[in-house]
Homo-oligomer: A and B are copies of this chain.
Amino acid sequence: MPITLSSARATPSDARAFENIVAGAMTAAGMTPLSLTDCLHKIQDYGARRHFNRNEPIFVQGEPANQVYRLISGSVRLCRYTPDGRRSVMDFLFAGDLLGFVEGAHQPAAAEAVSDVTLVAYPRQCFERLAANNAGVRTGLVRHLSRSLEGAQQHLMVLGCQNGKERMASFLLRLADPMDLVCGDRLDLVMGRQDIADHLGLTIETVSRVLATLRELGAILIPNSHQIVLRDIAALRALCAQS
């Protein structure tokens, strides 16, 4: 069940409604093609709104990929497991992020709720039909995939070239990225130490120690284990110096 942008296959009756809404939204917006996120957002009432509790699986690795998702609130970890139980947290996703846009028939990774999560799920066939008839959606899909690839490659650099302190600095700055950074900004760490460890290719103990080191260096404050104050952003930037 690949994401075919051209095939004219049977679709649920909702699909036509989707397209009309999107078409209307696009013309109303004055020919500016909507981003993929905006498109899904406009039709989100047609998707199924779902809720997941902390640590609940949204989908598991290997299950049929027949839905695509848009995250409304909360945060999600995207991770892969080895047969012997090791885990790699590929990425963390937050409100507004997209999820489940894969080409193959099965989910190559699992998605789990880091905090309580609300999202909208769309049948994959509906999305494919939407894409088949809407150039803006196709552009958005390509952009989404490109950005995901870009992010994965940046993280490959982190895991391939950086030591513990540098990895943590990169992680904190990436978490803070959306906000325009000012020293003293408070950062919420919704994910636990084990999640961070599996994301950075370290152990939970090393994560703790590295955070303590950054605090001793004066780069951060740790008011509690779920909050970090970025005390010296220049120092953090210097640590993770990567292009």
Question: Are B157's CB and A156's CB within 8 A?
Answer: no
Task: Using CB atoms, name the residue of chain B closest to A103.
Answer: B146
- Residues of chain B within 8 A (CB-CB) of A161 are 82, 86-88, 201
* Chain A interface bracket (under 10, 10 to 19, 20 to 34, 35 or more): 35 or more
Interface pick from A2-10, A52-60, A209-217: A2-10
Q: Which residue of B lies closest to A3 (CB)?
A: B142
CB contact under 8 A between A136 and B242, given known A82-B161, A147-B103: no
Inter-subunit contact A5/B138 (CB<8 Å): yes
Chain B residue with Cβ nearest A138: B5
Give, as a whole number of angstroms, the nearest-CB distance from A9 to chain B. Answer: 13
Query: A88 contacts B156, CB within 8 Å?
Result: yes
- Alpha-carbon gap, A125 to B137, bound state (A): 20
A135: B residues at CB distance < 8 A = 5-6
Find chain B residues with CB under 8 A from A159 CB: 156, 159-160, 201
Q: Could you say which of B4, B104, B142, B198 contacts A160, with CB atoms under 8 Å apart? A: B198
Q: In the complex, how many angstroms separate the beta carbon of A166 from the nearest chain B beta carbon? A: 10
A143, CB-defined interface residue at 8 Å: yes
Q: Which of A77-94 contact B (CB under 8 A)?
A: 80-84, 86-88, 90
A91: shortest Cβ distance to chain B, in Å?
A: 9
Contacts of A200 in B (CB 8 A): 160
Q: Which of A103, A104, A147, A160 has the most CB of B within 10 A?
A: A160
Cα(A135)–Cα(B5), bound, Å: 7
Q: Which 8 A/B pairs are nearest by Cβ-Cβ distance?
A: A6-B135, A103-B146, A152-B152, A160-B201, A159-B159, A145-B145, A88-B160, A86-B161
Question: Which positions in A face B, CB cutoff 8 Å?
Answer: 2-6, 33, 61-62, 80-84, 86-88, 90, 102-104, 108-109, 135-136, 138-139, 141-143, 145-150, 152-153, 155-157, 159-161, 198-201, 241-243
